[in-house]
Every structure is written in structure tokens, then in C-alpha cells.
Chain A
Amino acid sequence: DAKTTQPPSMDCAEGRAANLPCNHSTISGNEYVYWYRQIHSQGPQYIIHGLKNNETNEMASLIITEDRKSSTLILPHATLRDTAVYYCISNTGTASKLTFGTGTRLQVTL
């Protein structure tokens, strides 16, 4: 079973920030938080990951709470091309497999 909890769907207006929450209350000390997204008919695309510090790259920002029990993925200026299913996964860095849940379906609208 997936170890994270995400809302099934969210909407966001184009140009606005999309804030996608994830609950991982049972995360252990050596587990990272990974975010992937999947656009229809494509494979999952890696977005970002972090252990306990906030992280930012060219795609998104990852904010992890101090107790590490939840995190938020931020897409600062959402576009229509960001419409996808977003998966939050907690995983040890050297684990063999990613355990996907059903993710959050983000719909970006005009």
C-alpha cells in the first residue's frame, strides 16, 4: 500500500501557483519524498525530491514540514501543459522500487 495520502483532484487557473499537498505521516528518518507527474499516455516524469530541507529546481519547489509528516509541491506559474496526475512517494534512497498511489489529478484551466 502507498504510504502517502493525496487529494484525488485539484483545479488551478493558468498563471497561478499550484500547491499540491501530500501527507506522509509515517515517513521514517531515511526516507526521501519524491514527486513525479504523468501526462496522459506518457511515462512518469521526475520533478523533484528532498529529505528534510526545502528544495527548488527549474520545474518546482518542494516544501517539507519540520516534522516531515507532510509536504507541498509548488508549481509557481501553472500552465495548461502542467495538467497531469501528480504522485508523491516516500522512499529510501537506495530502495529498489517506487510505490505509487493514485496521485492527484491537477487540471489547469484558462
Chain B
Amino acid sequence: DTGVSQNPRHKITKRGQNVTFRCDPISEHNRLYWYRQTLGQGPEFLTYFQNEAQLEKSRLLSDRFSAERPKGSFSTLEIQRTEQGDSAMYLCASSWDTDQPQHFGDGTRLSIL
């Protein structure tokens, strides 16, 4: 059972550029979550999918952010026109339905120059 996989692990980009991250959940997990974590803070929820349906979005997810999970398997998180404040660790997690715990990947660290 491979864990949650996130790519790339690190991304450095200039302000104003678009970036896209990928998350591959644990096989057959139908729930997929995105979180963001800044230095010294716990992860903050961004959005989640059940299969291909995006069921909840945080107010943190501005209109520059978009997430997709087109076939109910992997997911992508895109940030358009990146800003300095977008610098953070972006974490993906997945779980079975109901009360099973979420399992996290090791994240993508985004640095905005």
C-alpha cells in the first residue's frame, strides 16, 4: 500500500507565474483533501473531493486557486498569478469514506521569489 504521493516536492517560481501541483491518493480512497501550511502553524483546510465532486471549499481558496479531480483518482491544485503570500507547504490527504482517518503526503513546498 503506497502512501499519498505529491509532486513536485519543491517548487520555486517568480511572482505572477502560474503553478500546478499533483496529488496521487492512496488507491481506492474516495476522499481527497488539500491543506496549506505556513511556517510555525498547523495545516489549514483548503478543499475536499468525494470521488470527482468538489464538495467544500474554504474561504482561503481565492479565485486564483482551482482544484480538480477529473476521474476521481489523482488531483491537481493550480495557483494562478502567484503572490508572495502563497509561499507555503501544500499538503494533500486521502481517506476512505465515513470515519476513517486522513493520510497525508509529504507536501509540495512553494517558494515565491
Task: Please determine whether chains A and B interact with each other in the same assembly.
Answer: yes
Which residues of A are in contact with B by a Cβ distance under 8 Å?
Answer: 2, 32, 34, 36, 41-46, 49, 87, 93-94, 96-103
Q: For the complex, is B102 an interface residue (Cβ under 8 Å from A)? A: yes
Cα of A94 to Cα of B41 in the assembled complex, Å: 24
**For chain A, what secondary structure do more than half of its interface residues adopt (helix, strand, loop), or is it mixed?**
loop
| Residue of B4, B33, B35, B43 ringed by the most chain A CB atoms within 10 A | B43
A94 and B98 contacting across the interface, CB-CB below 8 Å: yes
Binding site for A on B (CB under 8 A): 4, 33, 35, 40-45, 48, 55-56, 58, 91, 93, 98-99, 101-107
B99 touching A32 by the CB < 8 A rule?
yes
Which applies to chain B's interface (DSSP): helix, strand, loop or mixed? loop
Closest 8 CB pairs of A and B: A100-B42, A93-B99, A43-B104, A97-B45, A46-B101, A43-B106, A96-B48, A44-B104
Hey, which chain B residues are within 8 Å of A49, CB to CB? 101
**Contact partners of B98 in chain A: CB under 8 A:** 93-94
- Residue among A2, A34, A43, A103 with most chain B CB within 10 A: A43
Q: Which residue of A lies closest to B91 (CB)?
A: A43
Whether B40 pairs with A99 at a CB distance below 8 angstroms is no
| Contacting residues, chain A, for B35 (C-beta < 8 A) | 98
- B66 CB to nearest chain A CB (Å): 18
Complex Cα distance, B104 from A34, in Å, reads 14
B40 A102 Cβ-Cβ under 8 A: yes
